Amino acid sequence: MDSLGVLNKAEKALFPIFSGIDAQVKLNLEKVLKIFRSQRVGAHHFAGVNGYGHGDLGREILDQVFAGVLDAEAAIARVQFVSGTHAIATALFGVLRPGDELLAVAGAPYDTLEEVIGTRGTGQGSLAEWGITYRQLDLTPAGGIDWDSLSTAIQPQTRLVLIQRSCGYAWRDSLNIAEIGRIVEMVKRQNPDVICFVDNCYGELIESQEPPAVGADLIAGSLIKNLGGTIAPTGGYVAGRADLVEQAACRLTAPGIGSEGGSSLNLNRLLFQGLFLAPQMVGEALKSSHLVAYVFDQLGYPVNPLPMVPRRDVIQAIQLGSPQQLIAFCRAIQQRSPIDSYVDPVPAAMPGYESELVMAGGTFVDGSTAELSADGPLREPYIVFCQGGTHWTHMAIALEDLLATWPPA
């Protein structure tokens, strides 16, 4: 079968999967609508304030809406967060103190957290420079959580356990809510006072529950990923236990100001509307993930997750095997993007990453992985990571054009 025939086959085979995704979208949209109604969200909440941001009713209600959607006691959703990494770093610095230990239990964290923790880089005020030690539990050879090691991993100095929900740039399965709940249960059994913190990026609204529903104390993520619904122009969130959220807020602003400060800059409407759109946008991204997985599996490439397997986040990894194919894939995505389609993505250094990256991101919001994008570090085995897609048909169009000349010369 030719490459385009594979695409036609994939679309027909995946329609039952797509129907199941639509059913999950409906459940999550019902949840979002229920929270909006319970908080009596109105047009007057779209108005913002400037300056210090004191008395911003829209921002206060937005926080309560985010808390409800994320199954959390409290939340802060702020345009002052530069990225998901910024939100995560703010949470870590907010709750950890000198002498504490940070324990990562899902292998090495995402590349951009290495300099936050202090395993790479010096002189920038990392956790390590503030006397916070770091330890990690490596994944099993099969790429899963080492449950045996986790059962005895908590030490007296362990203050916080870092659970990375998404695979990041690793070739492993992302975590589902049940696995996150099992991690939390095993940690709390050893010491109930240890904070279980989830890097929730890319995983929001995949299932019907979020990590706080299964015992996670704190979560953080970006608003230009899932929860921004492709229209949030910037920002991030922290959610979970109210006292821990406030500690993170005090790190974002200042002690004594905490969550009471931070003007919304007249962006409240976009954040409310983005959250309303988020279930549908996540569903489209999941369909795109299934489509590209099915096609490249049929073409003989290793893919993770496998085709037809239930998704745990919006990331689809394809092991392309050469820098030429990685660059060609990203180039094809860029050329079929609505913005900057004429730009040629080339490998380059990027702040926070050790390896050079090649990135395709012709998106309306710079860096928005809720929109169709693809990227990967220029290192063996040359894996491309696809995310997002406001319509699965956008991915289909990009694949149709890509496959007409695949593999690249």
Q: How many Cβ atoms are within 10 Å of 99's Cβ, its own excluded?
A: 11
The answer to whether position 409 is within a domain reads no
Strands 133-136 and 101-104: parallel
Both 7 and 97 in one domain: the answer is no
Beta bridge partners of 199: 164, 220
310: domain CATH number is: 3.90.1150.60
Both 261 and 361 in one domain: the answer is no
Both 33 and 22 in one domain: the answer is no
The answer to whether position 316 is within a domain reads yes
| pLDDT of 321 | 94
Both 296 and 399 in one domain: the answer is yes
Distance CA 296, CA 170 (A): 18
Both 220 and 286 in one domain: the answer is no
Indicate the residue type of 258. G
**What pTM value is reported for the model?**
0.95
Residue count of the chain, please give it. Answer: 409
Both 15 and 81 in one domain: the answer is no
Both 237 and 294 in one domain: the answer is no
Count of structural domains within the chain: 2
Distance CA 254, CA 8 (A): 55
| pLDDT of 4 | 72
Indicate the residue type of 98. P
The answer to whether position 87 is within a domain reads yes
Q: Which residue, chain included where needed, has tokens 């504490």?
A: 100
Domain that holds residue 339: 3-27+279-403
Both 176 and 315 in one domain: the answer is no
Q: Which of 204, 239, 274 is the last residue of a domain?
A: 274
The answer to whether position 300 is within a domain reads yes
Both 265 and 314 in one domain: the answer is no
Distance CA 247, CA 157 (A): 20
Distance CA 347, CA 378 (A): 7
246: domain CATH number is: 3.40.640.10
> Measured over all CA atoms, what is the biggest interatomic distance in the chain, rounded to whole angstroms?
65
The answer to whether position 237 is within a domain reads yes
Distance CA 265, CA 285 (A): 29
3-state secondary structure the chain: CCHHHHHHHHHHHHHHHHHHHHHHHHHHHHHHHHHHHHCCCCHHHHCCCCCCCCCCHHHHHHHHHHHHHCCCCEEEEECCCCCHHHHHHHHHHHHCCCCCEEEECCCCCCHHHHHHHCCCCCCCCCCHHHCCEEEECCCCCCCCCCHHHHCCCCCCCEEEEEEECCCCCCCCCCCCHHHHHHHHHHHHHHCCCCEEEEECCCCCCCCCCCHHHHCCCEEEEECCCHHHCCCCCCCEEEEECHHHHHHHHHHHCCCCCHHHCCCCCCCHHHHHHHHHHHHHHHHHHHHHHHHHHHHHHHCCCCEECCCCCCCCCCCEEEECCCHHHHHHHHHHHHHCCCCCCCCCCCCECCCCCCCCEEEECCCCCCCCCCCCEEEEECCCCCEEEEECCCCHHHHHHHHHHHHCCCCCC
Phi, psi of 251 (to 5 degrees): -75, -35
CB distance 154 to 190 below 8 Å: yes
CB distance 213 to 177 below 8 Å: yes
Both 69 and 210 in one domain: the answer is yes
| pLDDT of 192 | 98
Q: Which residue, chain included where needed, has tokens 């007409």?
A: 404
Indicate the residue type of 142. A
| pLDDT of 36 | 98
Indicate the residue type of 134. Y
The answer to whether position 185 is within a domain reads yes
The answer to whether position 138 is within a domain reads yes
Strands 316-319 and 303-304: antiparallel
CB distance 387 to 374 below 8 Å: yes
Both 114 and 246 in one domain: the answer is yes
Q: Which residue, chain included where needed, has tokens 């967060």?
A: 81
Q: Which of 274, 290, 311 is the last residue of a domain?
A: 274
Both 123 and 20 in one domain: the answer is no
Q: Which of 222, 249, 274 is the last residue of a domain?
A: 274
The answer to whether position 408 is within a domain reads no
| pLDDT of 81 | 97
Full pLDDT tens readout for the chain, 409 residues: 576 788 999 999 999 999 999 999 999 999 999 999 999 999 999 998 889 998 899 999 999 999 999 999 999 999 999 999 999 999 999 999 999 999 999 999 988 899 999 999 888 999 999 999 999 999 999 999 999 999 999 999 999 999 999 988 888 999 999 999 999 999 999 999 999 999 999 999 999 999 999 999 999 999 999 999 999 999 999 999 999 999 999 999 999 999 999 999 999 999 999 999 999 999 999 999 999 999 999 999 999 999 999 999 999 999 999 999 999 999 999 999 999 999 999 888 777 667 788 999 899 999 899 999 999 988 999 999 999 999 999 999 999 999 988 988 7
Which two structure tokens, joined as six digits, stand for 225?
């990923």
